Structure 1
Amino acid sequence: MNEFDKTGTPLASRVGTGDRSASPARRITVGIILNPKHPATLRAYADLVPELQKAGAHHRSMTTSVERSGRWQAEQLIEWGADTVIILGGDGTIRASAPVLAEAGTLTFLIPTGTANVLSRHIGLRSTRHAIGHCLRTVALIVRDGSTNLRGIPINTAEYQLADGRWHRTEFISLAGIGGDAQAVAHHQSAPGLLGYAWGAARALFAADFTVSTADTLNTADGSGATDTSDTVGSASAPVWAVMASKVARPAGPIAVFPQARIDAEALTVLRVGPIPDRLIARGRAWAGIATACLQGRPQAHPLMNYRNATEMSVSVESPMSAHLDGDLIGDCLELRVSVGEKKLLVSAPTA
């Protein structure tokens, strides 16, 4: 395969150069962003490109790297003139590319080749093969009559202060967390794939509680279409195991930890977990109770699982704690602020 290289240099190839009488009347330009870290990416790419050629699409492929994880590639493809962009990768690649594609209003296809693939699962893409099939069918429709099925995925914002005092601003899609949840992410590289996340989560169960102060801007819209109102609610310093803000019901595995969360909702579902008892036996009982409540589909019934809806959330800690965005560790933070965004990524999603 020589369509791309490891430097991220764009390689363009003119396709559909066979029998011109059989070519579709409408031709689209397709940009492809691929993360070569995962073997599934290369297999999916090998399946995808020949079919795009048959559809008469003109495509350009760009790979990501540690230094350029997707934003730069999206900028280059938009400048090149891509009508639509296909992302082959996981949640991290989507998170890096999404702000640019949302700003440009570019139709985006997701082909999940990462580890967790949270966003792809929550818009109905069951597997890599399913996503490729949906992409090719939709491209064929676009070529024929321009029709497609769009879903607007909000791009949420995050500001965080690292242990050295510096502030950073970025975006995320599905989930933000600080504390035990982020420590689970920090240890996931101890083993490959989902096994690494499971091992990290198991280790994080024994993470010590920490003291936080939070402030949420509550979404008080009644769903009637009336103008939203909001109230800011703060809390006194209290020990917790983790604080999370989610736009997805199932951030890891099949269990709905955030049963009310929706990827296109106007509010985040905020969860404070804890405090978890220090003594080993009591801690084990607490986690067993939480697991039982989650398996029963009623995590909110457990007293250590405290939920609320908010359009903004701010968490400050007394000492630096691990934090993550969409499963990517961002470092040890003193404060994490997240809010729902106004920009939306236009994603082609399967119909129900």
Structure 2
Amino acid sequence: MDEHDRTRTPVAGRVEADDRPAPLPRRITVGIIVNPKHSATLRAYADLVPQLQKAGAHYRSMTTSVERSGRWQAEQLIDWGADTVIILGGDGTIRAAAPVLAEAGTLTSLVPTGTANVLSRHIGLRSCRHAIDHCVRTVASIIRDVPTNLRGIPVNAAEFRRADGSRHRTEFISLAGIGGDARAIAHHHFATGLLGYTWGAARALFVVNFTASTGATVGAGDTSGTEGSASGQVWSVMASKVARPAGPIAVFPQARIDAEAFTVVTVGPIPDRLIARCRAWAGIATACLQGRPQAHPLMDYRCTTDMWVSVESPVPAQLDGDLIGDCLELRVSAGEKKLLVSAPTT
């Protein structure tokens, strides 16, 4: 018998190492949602894609537009068969795509290229570069079937009635508000980036109070269905699941991005006279810097899974830092669907 024609007789009960097929690496498909509004997005995309190719991932990219801000793109990528989706954008892009991705149970990674990037900061992504490195590690972990660190981020519901009487329902992730905080956002376009938000916030400090009726489910997780309500002059009403919605100061020290309940704060009424108003804001700022904003008498905090606000005259409202217009009513409810986000372990 020629040497090349010889066959090896296997030993019963034993697998010969030379006969075992080499394991094939898992092939995964990566969907990428790209918001091209910021130049940082295009730079991040140019950095990310070659690393995904090197890792052996098959990818498909879709850009957002004013008309299609992320939801449609998420639907298309899920229909395409994406194993995981990477979002390059800010909180608005995440908010648009999140309901679809949460419903499908699709693992999502974030590359923060927006202005505030609130969600990304609160899951531990320190920078765009850090986020790209983490995305590549996540994809490599999926290929090797290695577990990744996941955070379940609730997708919350918001219902609002605009000044024209039309009613709307949508979802949001981290922050909702009506009044002074939304006025700050309304004026941010006078300057670019964070400077615009700073300018808007400075102007909003001097807007007048408004009359509002507010209510909330008594106690997080309370099953009695009772509500506590109040009516009077306020500067703003906000519901948050993040400690620091803007900047390094913990305005909501008890809030957590993956919590079931919101931390709600009613601010005001702020005094009308200029000197008294400045003193009030200085006192609030000091309390926040000391980590005790709840100690200030003009900051009324509570924890709830459901909050509503009704106003006499239209007042600006916002969701995740995006203005939704002048509203007469705003109601938010903690969500049960969760967006599975890949987060750093440290």
Q: Deviations for 1:142-171, whole angstroms, at most 9, x for unmatched residues?
A: 111242221100000000000011100000
Equivalence map 1:190-339=2 (5 Å): 190-221=190-221, 229-339=223-333
Confirm or deny that 1:122 pairs with 2:122: yes
- TM (norm. structure 1) is 0.90
Q: Percent of aligned positions with the same letter in both sequences? A: 82
Structure 1 equivalent of residue 51 of structure 2: 51
For 2:24 and 2:268, the matched residues in 1 are separated by 59
SS in 1 for 2:152: strand
RMSD: 1.5
**CA displacement at 1:231 relative to structure 2:** 4.9
For 2:325 and 2:23, the matched residues in 1 are separated by 51
Instruction: Summarize the Cα distance change of 1:248–1:349 in structure 2 as closer, same or farther, 3 Å threshold.
Output: same
Equivalence map 1:69-80=2 (5 Å): 69-80=69-80
Contact 1:319 1:334 in 2 (8 A): yes
Structure 1 equivalent of residue 3 of structure 2: none
One-letter code of the match for 1:34?
V
SS in 2 for 1:207: coil
For 1:316 and 1:140, the matched residues in 2 are separated by 49
Structure 2 equivalent of residue 13 of structure 1: none
For 1:127 and 1:32, the matched residues in 2 are separated by 18
Instruction: Summarize the Cα distance change of 1:172–1:274 in structure 2 as closer, same or farther, 3 Å threshold.
Output: same
For 1:218 and 1:153, the matched residues in 2 are separated by 23
Structure 2 equivalent of residue 83 of structure 1: 83
SS in 2 for 1:285: helix
**CA displacement at 1:220 relative to structure 2:** 4.4
- TM (norm. structure 2) is 0.92
Q: Deviations for 1:15-68, whole angstroms, at most 9, x for unmatched residues?
A: xxxxxxx99611100000010000110000000000000111110000000010
Confirm or deny that 1:170 pairs with 2:170: yes
Confirm or deny that 1:92 pairs with 2:92: yes
Contact 1:159 1:169 in 2 (8 A): yes
Structure 2 spans left out of the alignment, 5+ residues: 1-21
Contact 1:219 1:230 in 2 (8 A): no
One-letter code of the match for 2:239?
A
For 1:24 and 1:230, the matched residues in 2 are separated by 55
For 1:207 and 1:230, the matched residues in 2 are separated by 38
After the TM superposition, which parts of structure 1 deviate over 4 Å for at least 4 consecutive aligned residues?
Answer: none
SS in 2 for 1:219: coil
Contact 1:211 1:317 in 2 (8 A): yes
For 1:245 and 1:33, the matched residues in 2 are separated by 28
Instruction: Summarize the Cα distance change of 1:27–1:38 in structure 2 as closer, same or farther, 3 Å threshold.
Output: same
Structure 1 equivalent of residue 338 of structure 2: 344
For 1:338 and 1:216, the matched residues in 2 are separated by 10
For 1:90 and 1:149, the matched residues in 2 are separated by 21
SS in 1 for 2:332: strand
Equivalence map 1:96-175=2 (5 Å): 96-175=96-175
SS in 2 for 1:26: coil
**CA displacement at 1:237 relative to structure 2:** 1.9
Instruction: Summarize the Cα distance change of 1:220–1:113 in structure 2 as closer, same or farther, 3 Å threshold.
Output: closer
Structure 1 spans left out of the alignment, 5+ residues: 1-21, 222-227
